[in-house]
């Protein structure tokens, strides 16, 4: 396959999977969500700057002037949803889904408790556009994966004469060698890095509500 040099636009789908303590996608009901409600997602690299080493002689001559290379620590992750979805909020940021008959809501985590100790994996899909402004006929989408995102929390909400914000902030995407081929056994390449993407031909099927992760 030749290298692709195409721009990417928009955010079309989101898939979130609950993880076990060892980073493996947790099989069972209520552990997966595939949504078309993603408004935006922003992974930002977080680097530790390289250490500087300097030495000057008693006469003012520079003897040593060296700076070590920076090291990637993790990717900071923020995202926003179009709707205050109770089940997807619980999966991303902890807390509890609450029900009253057919009514489904969300309760925040209790004070001073760890919100989501094992983290989740997050995948999202963007469009890939060719030189004619159309979706690329061979690989119309980019499939992005973050095999382990820790520390996500629900962000500030607004109640006013405007659409309510549904942000999630504070996430850290780190390496996860135990994610393997993902929650549905369909990730096609290596997954041992904090952020990976690959061109793909299709989007996942989205739905409102939890889904299950099958036993591998």
Predicted confidence (pLDDT) per residue in 42-85, tens digit: 999 999 999 999 999 999 999 999 999 999 999 999 999 999 99
Overall average pLDDT of the 156-166 stretch: 93
pLDDT tens readout for residues 186-205: 999 999 999 999 999 999 99
Taking a C-beta distance cutoff of 8 angstroms, is the pair 120, 17 a contact?
yes
Overall average pLDDT of the 104-131 stretch: 94
Q: CA-CA distance, 37 to 124, in Å (whole number)?
A: 11
Instruction: Write out the two tokens for 189.
Output: 């390449």
Residue 179 placed within a domain: yes
DSSP three-state, residue 8: strand
Q: CA-CA distance, 184 to 143, in Å (whole number)?
A: 14
Q: CA-CA distance, 205 to 188, in Å (whole number)?
A: 18
Instruction: Write out the two tokens for 20.
Output: 């076990």
Task: Give the model's confidence band at 1: pLDDT under 50 very low, under 70 low, under 90 confident, else very high.
Answer: low
Residue 4 placed within a domain: no
User: In this model, does residue 209 exceed pLDDT 90?
Assistant: yes
pLDDT recorded at residue 3: 83
Residue 63 placed within a domain: no
Q: How many domains does the chain have?
A: 1
Residue 181 Cα distances to 165, 176, 185, 186, 200, angstroms: 33, 11, 5, 6, 15
Element (H, E) at 131: none
Residue 160 placed within a domain: yes
List the domain range (segments joined by +) for residue 92. 9-45+71-211
Q: CA-CA distance, 171 to 118, in Å (whole number)?
A: 12
DSSP 8-state code for residue 179: -
Element (H, E) at 87: helix 86-93
pLDDT recorded at residue 114: 85
Instruction: Write out the two tokens for 215.
Output: 């036993």
User: In this model, does residue 2 exceed pLDDT 80?
Assistant: no
Residue 197 placed within a domain: yes
């Amino acid at each position: 396959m030749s290298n692709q040099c195409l721009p990417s636009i928009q955010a079309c789908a989101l898939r979130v999977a609950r993880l076990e303590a060892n980073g493996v996608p947790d099989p069972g009901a209520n552990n997966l969500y595939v949504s078309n409600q993603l408004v935006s997602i922003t992974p930002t690299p977080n680097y530790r700057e390289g250490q500087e080493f300097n030495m000057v002689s008693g006469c003012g001559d520079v003897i040593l002037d060296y700076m070590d290379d920076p090291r990637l620590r993790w990717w900071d992750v923020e995202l926003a949803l179009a709707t205050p979805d109770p089940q997807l909020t619980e999966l991303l940021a902890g807390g509890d889904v609450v029900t009253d008959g057919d009514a489904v809501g969300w309760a925040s985590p209790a004070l001073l408790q760890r919100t989501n100790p094992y983290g989740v994996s997050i995948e999202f899909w963007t469009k890939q556009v060719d030189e004619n402004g159309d979706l690329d006929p061979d690989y119309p989408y980019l499939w992005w994966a973050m095999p382990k995102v820790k520390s996500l929390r629900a962000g500030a909400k607004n109640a006013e004469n405007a659409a309510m914000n549904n942000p999630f902030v504070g996430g850290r995407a780190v390496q996860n060698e135990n994610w393997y081929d993902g929650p549905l056994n369909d990730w096609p390449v290596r997954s041992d890095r904090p952020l990976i993407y690959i061109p793909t031909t299709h989007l996942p099927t989205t739905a409102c509500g939890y889904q299950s992760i099958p036993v591998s």
